[in-house]
Chain A
Amino acid sequence: MRAFTQRYPVWSALIGLAALILLYAIFAPWSDAAEDIFGRKRIFLNALFGGITLGALYFLVASGFTLIFGLMKNVNLAHGSLYLFGGYMGYLWVDLTGLWIWAFPVVFIIVALIGVVLQYVVFRRMEGEDLRQTLVTIGIGIVAADIMLWIWGGQSYTILTPEWLSGPTKLPIISSIRDSGEIVYLSYPQVRIAILVASIVIGLGMWFALNKTRIGMLIRAGVDDKEMLTATGVRIQLVFVGVFAFGAGLAGIAGIVGGTFQSISPGEDTRFLLASLVVVIVGGMGSIPGAALGALIIGLADQLGSVYMPTYSVVLSFLIMALVLAFRPQGLLGGGR
């Protein structure tokens, strides 16, 4: 952080200024002039928070994807299927038991086991063969999509939000001040706040695990130099299986989240695969903070775009990806290797 401010004083000042303006825009009531230009504050705040929440969902999917790529150089194009499968599993669990919170560990374990099987049975046999892995994962994705269509049919499923999370809540952020002087606070769906908080906790947990624990150290070493790590006597295959299972489990959890505040249906697998590809390309392949930043940018672009420029919101995220590829091909936080 300090090194960054010393190296780029001008950029740091600009980023700081932008952050201050943003904080002011969030907390201060808007003047009429500002509302004339940007529309009502409620709309802006909802788009902003909506974007962050959507970013949180993208992060859950993309972080597993990027972790697997970072360590194994394996572009797992069946990642979207794991997401979709997790969503269906979550629906079944919540439908059977009604325990929404418990769906997370249960689905995590189920999808992680599938990840173990995939890594152990399939990918271990084709280590280092990029093209073959890519084709095989595409194949698995297509087969899985058809099997899921066969089992669950084509209709949409929404996972029931638990009673204590349904409906909106008031945030301590001023949305507008009525002429009578009455202060209107921003109301926002509770379930989205829960998703946001959970993603931040998971993100911080991953950062902590990667940077402060022995396993994290092994993984980072594996990302940097696999051969050397193997030579020191670490059973790299175990690390691989563990990371693959973890990444798959995260995708499964993301499926529950997506099924709760959006819906689960055939086609969502490719949508989220595409989203996580865009996120990871923008953020930098293999970087967890990069996935977080990329997810945030894409989520915000999607939501702010849908309000302020609905016609072009579809192309916005791809435009961002194209710009990043043009000016910083390794991704915003990607390593220079």
Chain B
Amino acid sequence: MNRFIASVVAATALTMPLTAQAQEAFKIGVLVTQEGTFTVAGGDGIRGVELAIDQFGGEVAGRPIEWVLGPSDATPDTAVRVARKLIEQDGVDIIVGPLSGSEGIAMRDYSKTIPDKTIINGISGALETTFVDPSPNFFRFNTDGNQWGSGLGSYVVNELGWTNIATVAADYSFGYTNFMGFAVDYCRAGGKIEERFWQPLGSSDFGSVIAALPDDVDAIYLGIGGTDAINFLNQYQQAGSETNIIAGTILVDQSVLTAEGRAKDALIGTVSSGPQADDYDSPAWKAYVEAYQAKWAPEDRFPTPSLFATGYYNATMAALTALQEVEGDTSDGQEAFRAALSGLTLASPIGDITLNENRQATGPVFISEVIENEDGTLSTKMVSKVEGVTQTLGLEMADFAALGLPSRDTPDCDALNGG
């Protein structure tokens, strides 16, 4: 018995200084893909987090900032398992992440089981995450995949005159969502979609699909990313196809533009839309790019930060800014912290971002064209910027909800273009 009391006393003595300490570290769990198609993208996401912590000099409101890596493989099951480990074993205060769409939906549901903690989305872009049954402690400071597609559709119809296209896109929630943003805009501008092809994530042989594409279209919308995109473009060239390409957001990201080999050359001249443009000339963006380039040697990073880095950067910046506003107070189930997050106007490198009632970002979308630099590398050149794109693409909430959730057959193009 004496022994028991002694050990209790010892244990109390050990834990006392920790709880009494006011300067407890603020722990961020970084949930990010480290396996499979989005491995490289995930690596850049981590750089975004590190950069944001650097901006605050490693501490906020007197609390040192720590971060813990939660490696996932882009599947919802793993994301939840890793998040649970971060919360339960590593004892993190907030989670920044995840990276991909299905994980986002899983994390929204998981966040409801941990009401005292906060999850700030990394860069996952499924519409449902904040549109259907949103969770009070899940925040998203990046525009979603649906918003990213917006603006591109009317651009190709009005500026390029392409009105008949076929689409090849990834067969999962982000693929549907990014496509829907494009298609709603494109069809409302009067475009037609001849045929839609959906490809499973991780496809490596697109030969048959390339052969099945119709000949008599103005362009092909390509909504795949990472290694899949490299494989597609490689085989597209080998098959001698030369139809114009309209790029979904993840197709022209740095992870594809910096791949080794000739496959990416098929992208020169392609238009795309997304949450950022590499050559955006605002001072905030330039400062951000310089900080990124200064922190890592050229071989350890992309030439300019990818959208994954920017997404994780903005999420971490939002968390730290809100934490500073409440002077490091995460007591009381993080109530004050969450209120600060909701009211935040984040002055991000890409422009001001605010949240709507679903805790979803309203922000800018950029339209860019892929160009070849003198040294043979590829980058994007901004051609247009659409300000303040809302979650509902400018439609009323009810009208937008009436379109249905993104899926293989939604949106119905003929209903939108009046044909």
Q: Using a CB–CB distance below 8 Å, which chain A residues touch chain B?
A: 39-40, 42-43, 45-47, 49-51, 53-54, 91, 95, 153-161, 166-168, 187-192, 261-263, 265-267, 271, 302-304, 306-307, 310-311, 313-314
Contact = CB atoms under 8 A, between A and B. Distances in A.
Contact of B207 (A153, A156, A303, A314): A303
A36 B231 CA distance: 30
A47 B213 CA distance: 12
Given A189-B240, A262-B205, A154 B199 contact: no
Contacts of B234: 158, 261-263
A156 B227 contact: yes
B198 interface: yes
Given A158-B263, A167-B238, A262-B205, A306 B199 contact: yes
Contact of A91 (B197, B202, B260): B260
A314 B260 contact: no
A47 B39 contact: no
B37 interface: yes
Given A154-B43, A167-B238, A303 B208 contact: yes
A155 B208 contact: no
A314 B40 contact: no
Most buried by A among B35, B208, B209, B260: B208
11 contacts: A46-B210, A95-B260, A156-B261, A159-B261, A192-B207, A262-B235, A263-B261, A265-B227, A267-B35, A306-B199, A306-B203
Contacts of B262: 158, 160-161
A43 B211 contact: yes
Contacts of A191: 238
B343 interface: no
A249 to B, nearest CB: 23
B325 interface: no
A310 B197 contact: yes
Given A262-B231, A306-B199, A306-B203, A189 B238 contact: yes
A271 B210 CA distance: 22
A308 B212 CA distance: 10
B257 to A, nearest CB: 10
Most buried by B among A39, A42, A50: A50
Most buried by B among A39, A45, A51, A306: A306
B204 interface: yes
Contacts, number: 129
A145 to B, nearest CB: 10
A53 B207 contact: yes
Given A190-B238, A303-B205, 18 more contacts: A40-B212, A42-B211, A49-B207, A50-B207, A54-B207, A154-B39, A155-B259, A155-B260, A156-B259, A157-B260, A158-B230, A158-B263, A189-B240, A192-B238, A261-B235, A262-B204, A263-B263, A310-B200
Interface string B226-250: 1100110011011110000000000
B235 A189 contact: yes
Contacts of A167: 237-238, 240
A189 B238 CA distance: 5
B205 A46 contact: no
Number of contact residues on B: which range applies? 35 or more
B166 to A, nearest CB: 13
Given A166-B237, A189-B240, A155 B205 contact: no
Contacts of A154: 39-40, 43
Most buried by A among B203, B259, B260: B260
A188 B207 CA distance: 9
A266 B39 contact: yes
Given A154-B39, A158-B263, A306 B238 contact: no
Nearest to B202: A271
A187 B227 CA distance: 25
Contact of B198 (A155, A190, A271, A310): A310
A130 to B, nearest CB: 28
A331 B35 CA distance: 32
Given A46-B212, A303-B207, A267 B238 contact: no
A158 B259 contact: yes
A171 B39 CA distance: 39
Contact of B205 (A42, A43, A50, A95): A50
A306 B237 contact: no
Counting from the closest, the 7 A-B pairs by CB-CB distance are: A158-B261, A46-B211, A50-B207, A154-B40, A168-B240, A189-B238, A47-B208
B309 to A, nearest CB: 14
B356 interface: no
A267 B203 CA distance: 13
Nearest to B258: A155
Contacts of A46: 207-208, 210-212
B383 to A, nearest CB: 26
A189 B207 contact: yes
B240 A160 contact: no
B194 interface: no
Given A263-B230, A303-B205, A168 B211 contact: no
Contacts of B258: 155
A261 B40 CA distance: 21
B205 A307 contact: no
A263 B259 contact: yes
A143 to B, nearest CB: 16
Most buried by B among A161, A187, A265, A313: A265
B36 interface: yes
